[in-house]
Structure 1
Amino acid sequence: MFSNHLYWNGKLLLLILVVGLLSSCSQSQKAFLADKYSDFPKEKELRGEVIELDTALFRYPFRIRIKGDKAIVMDLHGSEYYGHLFQYPSFRYLSSFGRRGDSPTEMLSMENFRFHNHKVWTLDANKSELTRLDFSSSGDSLLREETVT
């Protein structure tokens, strides 16, 4: 009696699976999905242009931040400096900052940087330090002002 009950339950389960599979592959379901994704968000195109420089500044450019007429590019594996300051939008090179090294004024790493109130803050997680940099009077370089541990 028990095996006969399992036999019919198995057949019923197989019938439900076949009906479900056939109904999910129907044309009306495909049409529904096509209509659902036809009004996707607007597409945008990103374009760039190659700017020729006479030196290779970056090993691994990682983050870019733009504020006003200044752009900073962070080099994740910089050989000498972690940050590079550019004039924006021309991307004319101005200076580098965040010298790589072990001395108190140098950085072991640069994890991130932010613009805040016309200043630049950098994070050196390996030394557990936040460094505040300010623009020089000519605006073409960043000078170290303060380090917070």
Structure 2
Amino acid sequence: MRNNLTFILIYSIATLFLGGCNSVSKEVYPRYADFPEVRTLSQVKAISCDSVYLRYPYRVEIKDSLAVILDLHPESCFLHAFTYPDWKYVVSFGRRGEGPDEILSAERVRIISPDSVWVLDSNRRQITRWRISASSGNVERAEEILLDERLIRTLDFCKTNEGFLVTDYTGNYRYHVLDAHGQIKESVGSIPTEKVVADDGRMALAQAWRSFMDYNPENGVLAMVTQLGEVIEVFNLKTGEHREYYGPHGEPLFHISQGYGLPIGIMGFHDVKVTEHLIYAVFQGISFKKIARSEKQGIHLPDGGSKLYTFTLTGLPVKCYELGKPVCGIWVDEVKKLFLATDVFTDNLITRFDLKK
């Protein structure tokens, strides 16, 4: 089942891009070529849980003693809460369905506290807040935030003290600042493409530049990494500084076929986390040609990235970790020198790696 989900995800990416694009390349953004240090990470522990079955454990979010795992393709519930660090099952919530208290699609979960667990439902165009009691196992849907009608299918978000940060898919900006009611306060940045794009191709370009994001309110750093190609962007919301860097694979590539934009480059980043000192991002780097060739041969390449990149808080490369296995969602504990990642293709929920030298 999980191998079939890999093809579904790849196909969904390929059919996202609508519109046209007339482009001329011009090299204007700085590049990074190599990481100063490359290391192989040792797996410390595989964490499993017999109390709940997850078909596609996609994201993991941890705050203090609460951990929540998001299942991208669940049979019943999208979200599953555990105690941390012992990983005792607490409760499943966010039932999949079309009912008023159900979720159509869950893209991201963010934890501020047990009373403030935020979940993005892109199909319903809303963010919901949940309360979770680890002691009693109770869960309550406490609040619903309907997102601004000007937003186009929001696929990622971060929580701020004043509201939210969400990605943009109009092709005109990089992200939007929302107030506590989900309304746009400010639209920031532009797609750092080195191509000249016609107006009717802006939305297709935006879909090709779909990015994962993470924000650390303590240092004010917002990082965005592209799902296709290899580009990292860093916004410091405290200082106003903004930097972009292309990696060796460059910006996301796609072409138009029968009105659809099809990716022709590589699968890039899978997740990103901003900590106190560094930016961590999981990277894949497999070409769509190789993926298509493997599918024709009946070979299902594993989804996820097998490299963990670290960058400075201004986007400069620091270290590349070879993981030895593909992972998707990540969470980093810099104090304990641990790196946790969702494990899609085994029965384990989480794989723990040691970041110690």
Structures share a fold, TM > 0.5?
Answer: yes
Structure 1 vs Structure 2: percent identity of aligned residues? 36
* Alignment-mate amino acid for residue 98 of structure 2: D
Higher helix share: 1
Q: Which runs of 5+ in 2 are unaligned?
A: 1-33, 147-357
Q: Cα gap change, 1:114/1:45 in structure 2, threshold over 3 Å: closer, same or farther? A: same
Match of 1:124 in 2: 121
Match of 1:144 in 2: 141
How many pairs align? 112
Q: TM-score with structure 1 length normalisation?
A: 0.65
Cα distance in 1, alignment partners of residues 112 and 126 from structure 2 = 17
Q: TM-score with structure 2 length normalisation?
A: 0.29
Cα distance in 2, alignment partners of residues 117 and 68 from structure 1 = 8
Match of 1:81 in 2: 77
Deviation, 1:76, is 0.1
Match of 1:31 in 2: none
The Cα offsets for residues 41-72 of structure 1, whole Å up to 9 and x where unpaired, read as 36362524234533452000000011101111
Higher strand share: 2
Cα distance in 2, alignment partners of residues 123 and 52 from structure 1 = 25
- Pairing of 1:1-149 with structure 2 (within 5 A): 40-41=36-37, 43=39, 45-118=41-114, 119-136=116-133, 138=135, 140-149=137-146
Cα distance in 2, alignment partners of residues 121 and 40 from structure 1 = 37
- Aligned-residue Cα RMSD (Å) equals 2.4
SS of corresponding position for 1:43: strand
Higher relative contact order (CA 8 A, sep 6+): 2
Larger Rg: 1
Cα distance in 1, alignment partners of residues 44 and 37 from structure 2 = 22
* Alignment-mate amino acid for residue 53 of structure 2: L
Q: Cα gap change, 1:48/1:109 in structure 2, threshold over 3 Å: closer, same or farther? A: farther
Cα distance in 2, alignment partners of residues 88 and 102 from structure 1 = 31
The Cα offsets for residues 60-96 of structure 1, whole Å up to 9 and x where unpaired, read as 0000011101111100001100000011111111111
Deviation, 1:148, is 1.5
The Cα offsets for residues 16-41 of structure 1, whole Å up to 9 and x where unpaired, read as xxxxxxxxxxxxxxxxxxxxx7x923
Q: Cα gap change, 1:139/1:114 in structure 2, threshold over 3 Å: closer, same or farther? A: farther
Q: Which runs of 5+ in 1 are unaligned?
A: 1-36
Q: Cα gap change, 1:120/1:52 in structure 2, threshold over 3 Å: closer, same or farther? A: closer
Contact 2:67 2:81 in 1 (8 A): yes
